[in-house]
Structure 1
Amino acid sequence: TMYELVGKEMTDKWTPPWPFGKKPTILQLDELGMTDVPQAERVNDAIDDAKVETAVLQDILPDVGFGFGSGRAVGSNNWVIGGNTTKSGMPLLANDPHLGIQMPSIWYVVGLHCKPIDGSPPFDVTGFALSSSPGVIIGHNSHIAWGVTNVNPDVFDLYRIKVNPANPLQYEWNGAWRDIKVRQETINFGDGQSPVTIQVRETHLGPIINDNKVDKETGEIQGFNNKDPMALHWTALESGTILKAVTGLNEATNWEEFREALKYWDVPSQNFVYADVKGNVGYQTPGRIPIRAKHHSGLLPVPGWTNEFEWQGFIPFDKLPTVFNPKRGYVATANQAVVPLEYYDMLASELGEGENYAISQEWDYGYRGQRIIELLEKLAPHSIETLQVLQGDNKLISAEELIPYLGRLRFNEPELNEARDWLMKWDYQFDMDSPQAALYAEFWMQLANNLFGDQLPEQIKLEGWAREMWAAYLLMEQPNDTWWDDASTSDVVETRDDILVRSFREGYNNAVATLGNDRSRWRWGNLHTSTFVSNPLGRSGVSFIEKMVNRGPYPTSGCTGTVNNTRWTVHSGSFAVDHLPSMRMIVDLGDLTRSVAIHTTGQSGHPYSKHYDDMIELWRNIKYHPMLWTRAQVEAAAANKLILKPAN
């Protein structure tokens, strides 16, 4: 773990506590029916103690995002606004999930309109669907609209397993040996390699995930690991009911039916915002959130040979965070902490003091959420047009926090002083045409590497996302902290200002080398581009095929941590976009025909179709197309019609 590799003190500064009180949580105390609750020291300590990277997780855990964003910096945005702050007097709902860049788009815009048959309810819904599942995942029907972002819940744990030395197919549990289930799995490869068959051992806590390691020298699979086996306990490994939830959402007509549908949304937990044509708005967290032992943080591997660390069930649905028609008139989510810490004390008082009810330790650090709320307050009263402005906002609050520390420096080179003064006049907007945004990004890449990269172990990839942004801001007030010292200069102890000067100089020199000497001609979009790569042909290595199926690069606005969250990653050494708003949707509950949407590429997956890439320019310029709703709208816009008739 990071504690073992760099020590507890440095780890805690690299993974600081979530900034409760400084960044907004999704729900407030009064919205939870709580106004005067003691500070939740118990749960706060559990959360603080848990922020430790387990290096093995980076190699063995699958992507748990399920299409709605995972990790500290990806995520998504959504918000819902009541009629008291809209121009029409009716609710508006917006959503933009942030996913990996790909070709074609992961989404398919679809309208499903079915007449009732034999007493069944009508199916009348439109929105965004996934090819992997039926129904509309995000959208609206005749009565309600909904949108989702990822809660990033902590729903998996690693358990150290004691295997019977005399029988590798048994493990210890509460002082006795239990049989291990074994199944064969065949892994097929698409590049001509022969299939590989492995044996998977499974305990009642989950499968052992560090069996079958591959020898780095020989490439051979090593089979069972009886030295330090670990089992993965994960809610997603159990059978689920999410498709029933999707059907229920598509058919729901009010808040009660909406919540009833979400009782079946088990994995993964999402921040659902809600609005209806009667003027109501709301929020609900669904999902199976484990209840752990009080001393079980949830992020470190724990003994798996007794029931001491076994889950104690799940937080009941009726105790999960929810609000209906909040007094402030809106709810905004951007993967930040869902609730204040006092919520956990409320759970403890109602469900029992001896458990850990923490929903997660992996929230986004709140930059997007803070900016969304700023603009919700500033731009009111709202319309579809103001929400388009909000979805396209490119201000990075982290830059606003850090740049003042550059103003205190004096460089030996007049050119650097001039460039710094020029940067300090910037509006912190990462528009694709901004020259200052290019300089700040070059500076931030160097600062992240110089501050954190030299002391992080090689197992940990430096992301440069919201966690490092917030950690860097806190370290600015600790100018002599060990993190500022360059680990490669054993005879010198660097301080904050040394590293800031070095990072700005290196960033400026990189910008000049890449973009030229004339700062006025620099453009952030010349560094920050989106290339939509098709799988698998887009990486075939055959140039004419790649040219046929891929699109880009396109200059792109936004940055990691902006509302228009077009993410790039420090360890890549590039500013190329790797995650982005995979679609944008704004629903007008006062007039559903005025709703608008866009996704990244196009409706077609065929490279020779004009609809393969005809949304890219709209998407990157924050423009939209109508969400066709009525039959008259659809027929007026139809280019072709396909009628399927039964053979008999």
Structure 2
Amino acid sequence: MQKRTLVAGLAGALLGLLPQAHADSARPAALAADIRWTAYGVPHIRATDEGGLGFGVGYAYARDNACLLADEIVTARGERSRYFGAEGESSAQVGNLASDVFFTWLNRPESVEAFRKAQSAEVTQLLEGYAAGFNRFLREASTDTTSCLGQPWLKPIDSSDLVRLTRRLLVEGGVGQFAQAVVAAAPPGAASAALTGAEGFRLAEQRRERFRLERGSNAIAVGAERSASGHALLLANPHFPWQGAMRFYQLHLSIPGKLDVMGAALPGLPMVNIGFNRHLAWTHTVDTSSHFTLYRLELDPQNPLHYRLDGRWQPLEKRVVKVRVRGADGQLQTVEHNVYESVYGPVLVWPGKLDWSAGEAYALRDANLDNTRVLQQWYSINQARDVADLRHRVESLQGIPWVNTLAADEHGDVLYLNQSVVPNLTPGQLQACAIPALVAEGLPALQGNLGRCGWSRDPGAAQPGIQPATQLPALVRRDFVQNSNDSAWMTNPAAPLEGFSPLASRQDQPLGLRARFALQALQGKGAIDEPLLQRLVTGNHVYAADLVLPDLLQLCRQAQEAALSSACGSLAKWDRSANLDAGPGFVYFQRFMSHFDALEGAWKVPFDPVRPLQTPSGIALDKPQVAKQVREALLAATKEVHELGLDQRQRWGEVQVSSTAKPPIPIPGGDGHLGIYNAMQSVPHGDHLEVVSGSSYIQLVSFTAEGPQAKGLLAFSQASEPRSPHHADQTRLFSRQAWSPLPFTEAQIDADPTLRVVRLAQ
């Protein structure tokens, strides 16, 4: 207890030692911060200015994840082949050489410098401080703290490296999904896919689908009218990758008198992306809006490097990208590759879908390539005082790249914003210019030979060619708003959001099952409290089973065949959950649904836009063809479960694990497509399924007369470093479905028995 008191006293004393503007006893340090670590290694970073704050963030992050960040910076610099050779791949499963070509093109010096110069003084100081803090830790690092110490790619960084990382994140909703296609683009007769290959395109197709799955999220904001306490609540449950450039990190940032915000940030970002302050809490969900458009280029039959625009032939720009590649003998050589650009953006090749032929090619325009406001946007959100203020800050800057925003404040108001960077095309343009075949495949494709099909400029927009905030969905309520990666339409069924551009939000479309599950709990007039919101996640209920399982078991009873006995017996005993103790029925059900979803006309009650919360549902077993296909789907699922060896496991907790710790940690939850709110993505790995993405940073914030009260966790823990005590501590907590208090006030921080304080200055 005496030691505990001394540490608490030291925290207060050290704050007084931070440099003051008029101190005359000594020259103040250029950068200074104090870092107070509480339970699970969460840093509370306090400084008197943005430079010091960034300094503390960079240092704290490097202590836990220096190798992760350095590896991702190598990717963003386009230097993977230089250090690891051309044959490996990045954390995004892109081959090193293709990745290097893409990021060398994306992060050209002039593009990085233009982004850097567009930042406010505050953001510039945050970035420069972050780099200095990271570098400070490198000077202190040991092999006990930093597993990659001594590797040539672990080296000091600068603010431009953080800009490169930011630009990488920006294009995740656009051209970043087409990295292989940009690299593969070459005129007819050239080796168009030399750096990508058929397997690369197959993985890229899977990755585009996983963008929707891995970067999903749930969010609920409950207003004063429905909250049991009369105060607002916010549940944040983003689903993000457990490794790599999108792995969240918990932190608390404070500049006395200016900033006091807690939450989680992505690697390399010196501000909170999802979190809360004294006045409001906010979160994000990946939206359904389009952030890019494709353009079909009409090519000159005599020269495939020229395209027609408004009756004139325009030359494609050939940009030569140079990449340094380490060979098997350790020697470096320079590889040159051409990237072709039109007035819209880079040319793509996706074999069989977006081909470069003698007559046509395709180019992509990404709205976020011109979004230099994203960092200023999040730092502004960090300082918002209520939902009205937050809305004004978002609608004024328009810097959100590809997510919805939901928020709740101390006054009991809740907010939904579908305010991201969306191309501005009028209904007339969409009708006249769209390419129906590609639009039907979910690709917003337009005719590129007519200038009138280009993005329209609106003087009210923050960026030329994007939709102004006044044309995008927004909703303020006192009951609730929610989103689980659906369009804005059913944010609150009492106030449907309709009539927007299909590039921003579509209506009359089937809801995802996670949204239907949540709305089932939120509908009506009953009070909503914290335990109810927490149970939505920790209950691990499989909502799809409510819609399908009764009919599936009926088919089992009718079939009575030996080949289905194992699956049918397991399904009959299953409790419709993805909890750790769920029986093997869940494994069979997951595999069955992967086949069922591909069937045409299999629903007993098809989707009805008048009843979006209840439809579709049931299996149309009265149709002989459907019954036959469903039986075949269950047989296929049985075969797959047996081949994976998963039919020998008795509990879901023996199947799905995180093996980053020893022994492996069982992980609850499952495929969000099945309506499991605690959405987890896992892939076959040896004799189990390894978690790769899903629930990440979770926060449940309530506002009381005493201020915000928060609990939650970081499902994959703070540190990617295997020797860190915080490498898997929260993962074990997550396995038990326990959420920890998030200490925010000075009293809560000082009361933490694990409190440890470090003061940094240089």
The equivalent residue for 1:257 is 389
1:404 equivalent among 523, 534, 550 = 550
Q: Distance in 2 between matches of 1:127 and 1:379?
A: 31
| Superposition deviation, residue 123 in structure 1 | 1.4
* Superimposed CA distance per residue, residues 611-638 of structure 1 (whole angstroms, 9 cap, x where no aligned partner): 1221111122222222221223223325
The equivalent residue for 1:335 is 485
Q: Which has the higher contact order (CA 8 A, sep 6+)?
A: 1
* Superimposed CA distance per residue, residues 174-226 of structure 1 (whole angstroms, 9 cap, x where no aligned partner): 00123433433234568867453322222221111239x9xxxxxxxxxx976
* Superimposed CA distance per residue, residues 511-538 of structure 1 (whole angstroms, 9 cap, x where no aligned partner): 6784668xxx721222233344xxxxxx
Q: Taking structure 1 as reference, are residues 186 and 627 closer, same or farther at Cα in structure 2, changes over 3 Å only?
A: farther
The equivalent residue for 2:284 is 148
Q: Establish whether residue 501 from structure 1 lines up as the match of residue 641 from structure 2.
A: no
Taking every aligned residue pair, what percent have the same amino acid on both sides?
A: 23
The amino acid that maps onto 1:197 is E
| Superposition deviation, residue 392 in structure 1 | 1.6
The amino acid that maps onto 1:60 is A
Q: Distance in 2 between matches of 1:65 and 1:598?
A: 29
Q: Residues 105 and 600 of structure 1 are in contact (CA less than 8 Å); yes or no, is this contact kept in structure 2?
A: no
Q: Residues 172 and 178 of structure 1 are in contact (CA less than 8 Å); yes or no, is this contact kept in structure 2?
A: yes
The equivalent residue for 2:539 is 393
Q: Establish whether residue 286 from structure 1 lines up as the match of residue 398 from structure 2.
A: no
Q: Establish whether residue 524 from structure 1 lines up as the match of residue 652 from structure 2.
A: yes
The equivalent residue for 1:578 is 692
Q: Establish whether residue 79 from structure 1 lines up as the match of residue 220 from structure 2.
A: yes
Q: Distance in 1 between matches of 2:597 and 2:275?
A: 43
Q: Distance in 1 between matches of 2:637 and 2:348?
A: 42
* Superimposed CA distance per residue, residues 62-100 of structure 1 (whole angstroms, 9 cap, x where no aligned partner): 999999x83257510011111233332211111111112
The amino acid that maps onto 2:724 is S
Structure 1 SS opposite 2:756: coil
Q: Residues 749 and 755 of structure 2 are in contact (CA less than 8 Å); yes or no, is this contact kept in structure 1?
A: no
| Superposition deviation, residue 249 in structure 1 | 0.5
Q: Residues 221 and 481 of structure 2 are in contact (CA less than 8 Å); yes or no, is this contact kept in structure 1?
A: yes
Q: Distance in 1 between matches of 2:534 and 2:596?
A: 37
List aligned pairs for 1:157-176, cutoff 5 A. Answer: 157-164=293-300, 170-176=306-312
Q: Taking structure 1 as reference, are residues 227 and 362 closer, same or farther at Cα in structure 2, changes over 3 Å only?
A: farther
* Superimposed CA distance per residue, residues 544-591 of structure 1 (whole angstroms, 9 cap, x where no aligned partner): xxxxxx666432222213001012479999754332111111111214
The amino acid that maps onto 2:568 is R
Q: Taking structure 1 as reference, are residues 187 and 575 closer, same or farther at Cα in structure 2, changes over 3 Å only?
A: same
* Superimposed CA distance per residue, residues 31-68 of structure 1 (whole angstroms, 9 cap, x where no aligned partner): xxxxxxxxxxxxxxxxxxxxxxxxx969538999999x
Q: Distance in 1 between matches of 2:741 and 2:291?
A: 38
List aligned pairs for 1:270-281, cutoff 5 A. Answer: 270-281=403-414
The equivalent residue for 2:665 is 554
Q: Taking structure 1 as reference, are residues 165 and 571 closer, same or farther at Cα in structure 2, changes over 3 Å only?
A: farther
Q: Establish whether residue 239 from structure 1 lines up as the match of residue 371 from structure 2.
A: yes
Equivalent pairs counted in the alignment come to 515
The amino acid that maps onto 2:339 is V
List aligned pairs for 1:158-197, cutoff 5 A. Answer: 158-164=294-300, 170-187=306-323, 194-197=333-336
Q: Taking structure 1 as reference, are residues 551 and 304 closer, same or farther at Cα in structure 2, changes over 3 Å only?
A: farther
Q: Distance in 2 between matches of 1:303 and 1:316?
A: 23
The equivalent residue for 1:322 is 474
List aligned pairs for 1:319-468, cutoff 5 A. Answer: 319-326=471-478, 329-339=479-489, 346-347=499-500, 359=505, 365-377=511-523, 381-409=527-555, 410-413=558-561, 416=564, 420=568, 423-424=571-572, 426-435=574-583, 438-446=584-592, 448-449=594-595, 452=598
Stretches of structure 2 that go unaligned for 5 or more consecutive residues are 1-176, 184-203, 457-464, 601-613
Q: Distance in 2 between matches of 1:262 and 1:309?
A: 28
Q: Distance in 2 between matches of 1:346 and 1:472?
A: 23
| Superposition deviation, residue 163 in structure 1 | 3.8
The amino acid that maps onto 1:479 is K
Q: Residues 66 and 268 of structure 1 are in contact (CA less than 8 Å); yes or no, is this contact kept in structure 2?
A: no
Q: Taking structure 1 as reference, are residues 475 and 434 closer, same or farther at Cα in structure 2, changes over 3 Å only?
A: closer
Q: Distance in 1 between matches of 2:469 and 2:687?
A: 43
Q: Taking structure 1 as reference, are residues 381 and 599 closer, same or farther at Cα in structure 2, changes over 3 Å only?
A: same
Q: Residues 86 and 382 of structure 1 are in contact (CA less than 8 Å); yes or no, is this contact kept in structure 2?
A: yes
Q: What TM-score, normalized by structure 1, do the two folds share?
A: 0.69
Q: Distance in 1 between matches of 2:568 and 2:269?
A: 51
Q: Establish whether residue 600 from structure 1 lines up as the match of residue 715 from structure 2.
A: yes
Q: Taking structure 1 as reference, are residues 107 and 476 closer, same or farther at Cα in structure 2, changes over 3 Å only?
A: same
Structure 2 SS opposite 1:381: coil
Q: What TM-score, normalized by structure 2, do the two folds share?
A: 0.59
Q: Distance in 2 between matches of 1:451 and 1:338?
A: 24
| Superposition deviation, residue 337 in structure 1 | 2.4
The amino acid that maps onto 1:632 is A
Q: Establish whether residue 199 from structure 1 lines up as the match of residue 199 from structure 2.
A: no
The equivalent residue for 1:490 is none
List aligned pairs for 1:59-70, cutoff 5 A. Answer: 60=181, 70=211
The equivalent residue for 1:307 is 451
Q: Establish whether residue 627 from structure 1 lines up as the match of residue 760 from structure 2.
A: no
Structure 1 SS opposite 2:757: coil
Deviates more, 1:282-291 or 1:363-372: 363-372
2:731 equivalent among 587, 601, 616 = 616
Q: Residues 439 and 507 of structure 1 are in contact (CA less than 8 Å); yes or no, is this contact kept in structure 2?
A: no
Q: Taking structure 1 as reference, are residues 447 and 253 closer, same or farther at Cα in structure 2, changes over 3 Å only?
A: closer
| Superposition deviation, residue 345 in structure 1 | 6.8
Q: Distance in 1 between matches of 2:630 and 2:380?
A: 54
The equivalent residue for 2:623 is 479
Q: Residues 246 and 261 of structure 1 are in contact (CA less than 8 Å); yes or no, is this contact kept in structure 2?
A: no
* Superimposed CA distance per residue, residues 117-159 of structure 1 (whole angstroms, 9 cap, x where no aligned partner): xxxxx11111111222221111111212111101121222222
The amino acid that maps onto 2:344 is L
Q: Establish whether residue 642 from structure 1 lines up as the match of residue 752 from structure 2.
A: no
| Superposition deviation, residue 434 in structure 1 | 1.2
Q: Taking structure 1 as reference, are residues 629 and 579 closer, same or farther at Cα in structure 2, changes over 3 Å only?
A: same
Q: Taking structure 1 as reference, are residues 162 and 507 closer, same or farther at Cα in structure 2, changes over 3 Å only?
A: closer
The amino acid that maps onto 1:555 is P
Q: Residues 238 and 698 of structure 2 are in contact (CA less than 8 Å); yes or no, is this contact kept in structure 1?
A: yes
| Superposition deviation, residue 309 in structure 1 | 3.1
Q: Taking structure 1 as reference, are residues 256 and 103 closer, same or farther at Cα in structure 2, changes over 3 Å only?
A: closer
* Superimposed CA distance per residue, residues 216-267 of structure 1 (whole angstroms, 9 cap, x where no aligned partner): xxxxxxxx97664311111122233111111110111123320122122435
Q: Taking structure 1 as reference, are residues 572 and 171 closer, same or farther at Cα in structure 2, changes over 3 Å only?
A: farther
Structure 2 SS opposite 1:391: helix
Q: Distance in 2 between matches of 1:275 and 1:281?
A: 4
Deviates more, 1:564-573 or 1:80-89: 564-573
Q: Residues 155 and 235 of structure 1 are in contact (CA less than 8 Å); yes or no, is this contact kept in structure 2?
A: yes
Q: Distance in 1 between matches of 2:588 and 2:252?
A: 44
Q: Distance in 1 between matches of 2:757 and 2:508?
A: 47
Q: Taking structure 1 as reference, are residues 286 and 302 closer, same or farther at Cα in structure 2, changes over 3 Å only?
A: closer
Structure 2 SS opposite 1:371: helix
Q: Taking structure 1 as reference, are residues 362 and 571 closer, same or farther at Cα in structure 2, changes over 3 Å only?
A: farther
Q: What value does the CA root-mean-square deviation take over the aligned residues?
A: 4.2
Q: Distance in 1 between matches of 2:291 and 2:245?
A: 30
1:230 equivalent among 362, 365, 368 = 362
Q: Residues 64 and 70 of structure 1 are in contact (CA less than 8 Å); yes or no, is this contact kept in structure 2?
A: no
| Superposition deviation, residue 429 in structure 1 | 1.4
Q: Residues 334 and 368 of structure 1 are in contact (CA less than 8 Å); yes or no, is this contact kept in structure 2?
A: yes
Greater share of helix residues, 1 or 2?
Answer: 2
Structure 2 SS opposite 1:434: coil
Structure 2 SS opposite 1:113: strand
